Amino acid sequence: MSNGIFKIPTPKNEPGNTYAPGTKERETLKKELKRQSEIVVDIPVIINGENIKTDTVKQVVMPHDHQHVLANFSQAGEKELRDAVEAAMAAKESWANMPWEHRASIFLKAADLISGPYRDVMNAATMLGQSKTAFQTEIDAAQELADFLRFGVDYANQIYQIQPESVKNIWNRLEYRPLDGFVLAISPFNFTAIGGNLPSAPAMMGNVVVWKPATTALLSNYYFMRILEEAGLPKGVINFVPSSGSLVSEVVLTDPRMSGFHFTGSTSTFQTIWKTVGENITNYKSYPRLVGETGGKDFVFAHETAQRDKVVAGLVRGAFEYQGQKCSAASRAYIPANIWEEVKGGLVEETAKLKVGDIRDFTNFMGAVIDKAAFDSITSYIDYAAASEEAEIIAGGTYDDSEGYFVQPTIIVTTNPNFKTMVEEIFGPVLTIYVYENNQLEETLTAVDTASMYALTGAIFAQDRQAIMHLERRLSGAAGNFYINDKPTGAVINQQPFGGSRGSGTNDKAGSVFNMIRWTSPRIIKENFAPTTEIAYPFMDAE
Instruction: Render 394-433 in DSSP notation, one character per residue.
Output: EE---EE-SSS-EE--EEEEES-TT-HHHHS---SSEEEE
Distance, in Å, from the CA atom of 473 to the CA atom of 507, rounded to the nearest integer, reads: 19
**133 neighbors 491 (Cβ within 8 angstroms):** no
Q: Name residue 41's beta-bridge partners.
A: 71
- Does 327 qualify as catalytic in the annotation? yes
* Closest to 461 in 3D by CA, of 485, 489, 488, 437: 485
**261 neighbors 273 (Cβ within 8 angstroms):** yes
Q: Could you say which of 14, 293, 321, 425 is catalytic?
A: 293
Q: Could you say which of 138, 144, 327, 350 is catalytic?
A: 327
Instruction: Render 7-53 in DSSP notation, one character per residue.
Output: PPPPP-PPP-----TT-HHHHHHHHHHHHHHT--EEE-EEETTEEE-
Distance, in Å, from the CA atom of 432 to the CA atom of 409, rounded to the nearest integer, reads: 11
* Closest to 108 in 3D by CA, of 18, 17, 11, 20: 11
* Cα dihedral sign, 360-489-113-83: negative
- Cβ within 8 Å of residue 68, ≥6 positions away: 37, 61, 62
Q: Residue 119 burial by CB count (10 A; 0-12/13-18/19+): exposed, middle or buried?
A: buried
- Does 443 qualify as catalytic in the annotation? no
Measure CA of the first residue to CA of the last residue in the chain; give whole Å: 53
Distance, in Å, from the CA atom of 73 to the CA atom of 70, rounded to the nearest integer, reads: 10
**131 neighbors 323 (Cβ within 8 angstroms):** yes
Distance, in Å, from the CA atom of 410 to the CA atom of 137, rounded to the nearest integer, reads: 23
Instruction: Render 279-344 in DSSP notation, one character per residue.
Output: HTTTT-SS--EEEEE----EEEEE-TTS-HHHHHHHHHHHHHGGGG-STT-EEEEEEEHHHHHHHH
Distance, in Å, from the CA atom of 26 to the CA atom of 33, rounded to the nearest integer, reads: 10
128, 130, 132, 138 alpha-carbon torsion, rounded to 10°:
-90
- Cβ within 8 Å of residue 37, ≥6 positions away: 68, 70, 128, 360
**358 neighbors 64 (Cβ within 8 angstroms):** yes
Q: Which residues are catalytic?
A: 293, 327
